[in-house]
């Protein structure tokens, strides 16, 4: 069982945003989706979440195509963490998270509140629960939304469930970037499938089981961090000169990129081990 | 040393949410009591005074209970024949306007969405006016078919068309942009106003008297007969609207997020718009254009208990009823024995409130 993109092509007003992309997210794994701006990462995420119908191909889950599944049923299987939200009404953080509980089908007020508290704690925003959402900083808002998405799929813990995170670390400090992705790993350890769009290659290297690289709407590479994060692939996709080390403390690669203005003076080693 | 100083209730204080004055339950109870008080005052005050005790005993006498409080036959006649239907019409219409305002602000994801400002009410009025003036010439079959319901139905169709038009235009820019929505509302209001103006040239004298009453609104048409006509659509709306509260909460997070949380956006849009047009249409067809209540009631409620639609819709219903009955009482008593149109009262209070809202929004942004 998996959440799958099957040779998906998306065309919008003559532009091909995605070109025959296939990707599977299985239970218990974290897949990182990387690629330059405009490569089609968010578009792929939208087709997988069922909010965008592909021009050709299909997003499927448990053998069924996304459009066959009712929005309410989808909401109990797939949780989406957006890049940013346009909430302007003065809800408290607690209320935002409770809205997630309701979508997940919590039974009654007591259970909803209990789930919301646990989700707030997991996202490290318990201390903000009575604060008004619109007064929070960008990073705090992102963490409140993480809690909301966790609460949404809380009751699906023992069943098939998938998390789709769209650039979840974009406004977080260093500690909370790692906390966010640790939560993603934790979800995978509990049996969920997680897709994370990331720009930080070192975060992708450290936390993902597999990395998929999108380039001009096509899948340029897919595999383990060691297979994908090579100077050749990164140069071809990002047009940036990089060198790849072994992480001194972890079994994963560590990427250093060279700024254009430094390349003349840099001593670029071809192979680093 | 004074030992009797009470310890501060720390736990209570830390649970209180900054910017919330009270809990939904307290507000609901308070508004119910307030509504009862306003209704009692409104049925009692006027050329013929009736004390609350007399009101209760007149009502109980109708079901055969005698409290032993003396009252005159004229008091009983005024209460049952004139004031009670008028005040009940105020309760129903005020409640409908409050609930419709809360629901539309949720649907447009915009606190300035008001049926009056964005053209829904004038759409309703145009539908009703067309029905009065040219209805007999153009749709005699329609009038025969619907009888006394023809007017509310025409108002409903007019209001629904106006809402969908404004919604389509303001949805073009992805998010419901405030300026586009208000500008579209201005255009719809102007167009409906012009069409209503044209109708005055076609109208007979009797029809003309009816038309002037549309433009400023009044509960003076409140009889048991009009009450029977508006009760069905309004009660239906008030029962059904709260069922969309959870989905409106989800919609507040954004259209994309609501879809991820399992909301069928299009279905929600149609149902809420339809119900609001039904309630506003029924109200406008009987009382004319009464502005600002749909704007003010939800705002005051949000300032008190926050934006959760599960409590916002019922509380706005109660507050809308309180405001309209109070405004009607003022319209009858300020220049007694003459009567002010109710729209003047709501505008005197509502327009400055609206300006204050605009200034406040600017300061936040």
Q: Are A173 and A139 in contact (CB under 8 A)?
A: yes
User: Residue B257 pLDDT > 70, yes or no?
Assistant: yes
Tell me the β-bridge partners of A254.
A245
Determine, yes or no, domain membership for A264.
no
**Mean pLDDT value of segment B287-311:** 90
Among the partner residues A73, A92, A102, nearest to B17 by beta-carbon distance = A92
pLDDT in tens, B10-29: 333 345 676 688 888 899 99
Long-range CB contacts (within 8 A, 24+) of B13-22: B14/A130, B15/A130, B16/A130, B17/A92, B17/A130, B17/A132, B17/B306, B18/A130, B18/A131, B18/A132, B19/A90, B19/A132, B19/B306, B20/B304, B20/B305, B20/B306, B21/B303, B21/B304, B21/B305, B22/B304, B22/B305
Specify the range with the lowest mean pLDDT, choosing from A14-28, A67-81, B62-76, B201-215. Answer: B201-215
- Give B-chain residues touching A75 at CB under 8 angstroms: 260-262
Residue A20 CA to residue A37 CA, distance in Å, equals: 19
Whether A72 and A200 map to the same domain: the answer is yes
pLDDT in tens, A77-115: 999 999 888 888 889 999 999 999 888 877 778 888 899
Determine, yes or no, domain membership for A237.
no
Instruction: Please give the pLDDT value at position B365.
Output: 53
Domain CATH for A191: 3.40.50.300
Q: Which two tokens stand for residue B350?
A: 């509502």
For B251, name the nearest residue in chain A, comparing CA atoms only: A87
In order, the DSSP letters of B199-226 are HHHH--HHHHHHHHHHHH--STT--HHH
Instruction: Please give the pLDDT value at position B134.
Output: 79
Q: What share of chain A is helix, strand, coil (3-state, %, to 5)?
A: 40, 25, 35
Determine, yes or no, domain membership for A110.
yes
Neighbours of A64 (CB within 10 A): 11
Tell me the β-bridge partners of A257.
A242
Residue A95 three-state SS? helix
Helical ranges in chain A per DSSP H: 41-49, 71-75, 93-103, 108-122, 138-152, 174-189, 201-207, 225-228, 231-238
pTM of the full structure: 0.86
**Residue A59 is part of which domain span?**
1-77+159-228
Determine, yes or no, domain membership for A82.
no
User: Residue B314 pLDDT > 90, yes or no?
Assistant: yes
Determine, yes or no, domain membership for A174.
yes
pLDDT in tens, B199-245: 878 877 777 776 766 667 788 878 888 888 889 889 999 999 999 99
- Give A-chain residues touching B249 at CB under 8 angstroms: 91, 95, 99, 102
Question: What percent of chain B has pLDDT above 90?
Answer: 28
Residue B245 CA to residue B309 CA, distance in Å, equals: 5
Specify the range with the lowest mean pLDDT, choosing from B80-94, B101-115, B205-219, B345-359. Answer: B205-219
Among the partner residues A78, A87, A95, nearest to B254 by beta-carbon distance = A87
Whether A208 and A105 map to the same domain: the answer is no
Whether A71 and A170 map to the same domain: the answer is yes
- Mean pLDDT of all residues belonging to chain A: 90
User: Residue B70 pLDDT > 90, yes or no?
Assistant: no
Neighbours of A254 (CB within 10 A): 18
Question: Which of 1.10.3470.10, 1.10.730.10, 1.10.3720.10, 3.90.950.10 is the CATH number of B93-364?
Answer: 1.10.3470.10
Instruction: Please give the pLDDT value at position A60.
Output: 92
Cα Rg for chain B, rounded, in angstroms? 22
Whether A18 and A62 map to the same domain: the answer is yes
Whether A5 and A71 map to the same domain: the answer is yes
pLDDT in tens, B158-178: 888 888 888 787 766 544 566
Among the partner residues B175, B262, B308, nearest to A103 by beta-carbon distance = B262
Determine, yes or no, domain membership for A67.
yes
- Give B-chain residues touching A67 at CB under 8 angstroms: none
Determine, yes or no, domain membership for A139.
yes
Tell me the β-bridge partners of A81.
A165
Whether A3 and A72 map to the same domain: the answer is yes
Whether A73 and A167 map to the same domain: the answer is yes
To the nearest whole Å, the CA of B162 is away from the closest chain A CA by 25
Q: What is the dihedral of CA A98, A99, A103, A107, to 10 degrees?
A: 40
- Mean pLDDT of all residues belonging to chain B: 83
**Mean pLDDT value of segment A268-273:** 53
Q: Are A177 and A203 in contact (CB under 8 A)?
A: yes
Residue B250 CA to residue B327 CA, distance in Å, equals: 34
Determine, yes or no, domain membership for A124.
yes
**Residue contact A82–B256, C-beta within 8 A:** yes
Residue A28 CA to residue A32 CA, distance in Å, equals: 13
User: Residue A161 pLDDT > 50, yes or no?
Assistant: yes
Whether A175 and A72 map to the same domain: the answer is yes
Q: How many domains does chain A have?
A: 2
Whether A16 and A142 map to the same domain: the answer is no
Last residue of a domain, one of A126, A157, A188: A157
Residue B301 is classified by DSSP as H
Interface pTM, i.e. ipTM = 0.89
Whether A138 and A168 map to the same domain: the answer is no
Neighbours of B281 (CB within 10 A): 34
Whether A149 and A209 map to the same domain: the answer is no
- Give A-chain residues touching B19 at CB under 8 angstroms: 90, 132
**Mean pLDDT value of segment B263-292:** 85
Whether A126 and A163 map to the same domain: the answer is no
* Pick from A115, A48, A110, A114: nearest CA to A81: A48
């Amino acid at each position: 069982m998996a959440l799958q993109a099957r040779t998906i092509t998306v065309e919008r007003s003559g532009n091909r945003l995605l070109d025959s992309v296939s990707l599977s997210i299985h239970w218990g794994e974290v897949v990182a989706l990387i690629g330059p701006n405009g490569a089609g990462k968010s578009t792929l995420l939208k087709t997988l979440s069922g909010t965008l119908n592909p021009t050709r191909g299909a997003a499927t889950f448990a053998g069924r195509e996304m459009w066959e599944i009712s929005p309410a049923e989808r909401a109990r299987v797939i949780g989406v963490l957006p890049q940013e939200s346009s909430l302007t009404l003065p809800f408290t953080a607690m209320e935002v998270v409770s809205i997630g509980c309701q979508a997940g089908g919590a039974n009654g007020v007591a259970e909803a509140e209990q789930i919301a508290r646990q989700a707030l704690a997991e996202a490290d925003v318990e201390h903000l629960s009575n604060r008004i959402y619109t007064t929070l900083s960008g990073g705090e808002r992102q963490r409140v939304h993480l809690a909301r998405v966790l609460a949404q799929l809380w009751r699906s813990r023992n069943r098939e469930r998938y998390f789709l995170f769209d650039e979840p670390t974009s406004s977080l400090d260093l500690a909370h970037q790692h906390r966010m992705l640790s939560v993603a790993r934790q979800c995978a350890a509990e049996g969920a499938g997680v897709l994370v769009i990331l720009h930080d290659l070192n975060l992708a290297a450290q936390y993902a089981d597999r990395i998929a690289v999108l380039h001009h709407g096509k899948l340029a590479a897919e595999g383990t961090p060691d297979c994908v994060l090579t100077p050749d692939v990164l140069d071809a996709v990002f047009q940036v000169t990089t060198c790849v080390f072994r992480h001194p403390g972890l079994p994963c690669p560590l990427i250093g990129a060279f700024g254009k203005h430094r390349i003349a003076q840099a001593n670029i080693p071809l192979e680093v081990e | 040393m004074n030992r009797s100083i009470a310890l501060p209730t720390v736990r209570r204080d830390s649970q209180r949410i900054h910017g919330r004055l009270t809990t939904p339950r307290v507000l609901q109870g308070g508004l119910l009591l307030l509504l009862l008080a306003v209704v009692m005052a409104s049925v009692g005050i006027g050329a013929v005074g009736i004390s609350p005790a007399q009101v209760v005993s007149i009502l109980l006498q109708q079901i055969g209970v005698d409290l032993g409080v003396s009252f005159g036959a004229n008091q009983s006649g005024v209460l049952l024949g004139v004031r009670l239907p008028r005040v009940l019409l105020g309760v129903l219409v005020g409640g409908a306007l409050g609930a419709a305002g809360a629901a539309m602000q949720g649907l447009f994801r915009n606190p300035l969405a008001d049926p009056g400002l964005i053209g829904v009410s004038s759409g309703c009025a145009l539908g009703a006016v067309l029905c009065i003036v040219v209805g007999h010439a153009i749709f005699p079959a329609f009038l025969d078919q619907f009888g006394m319901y023809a007017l509310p139905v025409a108002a409903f169709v007019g209001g629904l068309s106006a809402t969908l038009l404004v919604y389509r235009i303001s949805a073009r820019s992805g998010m419901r942009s405030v300026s586009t929505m208000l500008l579209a509302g201005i255009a719809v209001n102007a167009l409906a106003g012009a069409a209503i103006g044209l109708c005055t040239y076609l109208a007979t004298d009797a029809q003309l008297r009816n038309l002037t009453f549309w433009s400023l609104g009044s509960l003076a048409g409140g009889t048991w007969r009009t009450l029977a006509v508006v009760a069905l659509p309004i009660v239906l709306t008030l029962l059904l609207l709260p069922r969309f509260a959870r989905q409106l909460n989800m919609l507040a997070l954004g259209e994309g997020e609501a879809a991820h949380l399992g909301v069928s956006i299009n279905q929600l849009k149609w149902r809420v718009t339809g119900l609001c047009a039904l309630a506003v249409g029924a109200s406008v067809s009987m009382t004319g254009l009464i502005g600002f209540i749909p704007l003010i009631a939800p705002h005051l409620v949000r300032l008190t208990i926050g934006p959760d639609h599960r409590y916002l819709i019922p509380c706005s219903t109660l507050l809308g009823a309180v405001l309209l009955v109070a405004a009607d009482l003022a319209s009858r008593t300020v220049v007694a024995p003459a009567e002010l149109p109710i729209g003047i009262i709501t505008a005197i209070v509502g327009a400055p409130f609206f300006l204050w809202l605009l200034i406040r929004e600017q300061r936040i942004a």
